[in-house]
Amino acid sequence: MEESKNYRRYEASAYLKEKYGIERKPTTLAKLAVLGGGPRYVKAGRVPLYPQKELDAWARGILSPLRASTSDTVEASHD
């Protein structure tokens, strides 16, 4: 079974920006961990760790489909 690398919040923030162009500060990831809506994570004691696979799934979930123009709708982009 392939293991996924785990990232601390500051590393997860840098990973999301580098790989997906999604800017989320570590403090924002911490807030999302409280409120919900952020990537899933595990804890090692008190330290939250974000598995790479979870970061990838979360990022793909918030990115829109490709668009050809600003007038494209979500429905039209699935054609």
Q: Report pLDDT digits (tens) over 37-70.
A: 999 999 999 999 999 999 999 999 999 888 899 8
Average pLDDT over residues 8-14: 98
In a 3-state reduction of DSSP, which class is residue 32? helix
Q: Report pLDDT digits (tens) over 12-39.
A: 999 999 999 999 999 999 999 999 999 9
Instruction: Using a cut of 0.85, tell me whether the model's pTM lies above it.
Output: no
The distance in angstroms from the start CA to the end CA of the chain is: 36
Using N-to-C axis directions, what is the helix angle for 9-20 and 52-62, rounded to 10°?
50
pLDDT band for position 79 (cuts 50, 70, 90)? very low
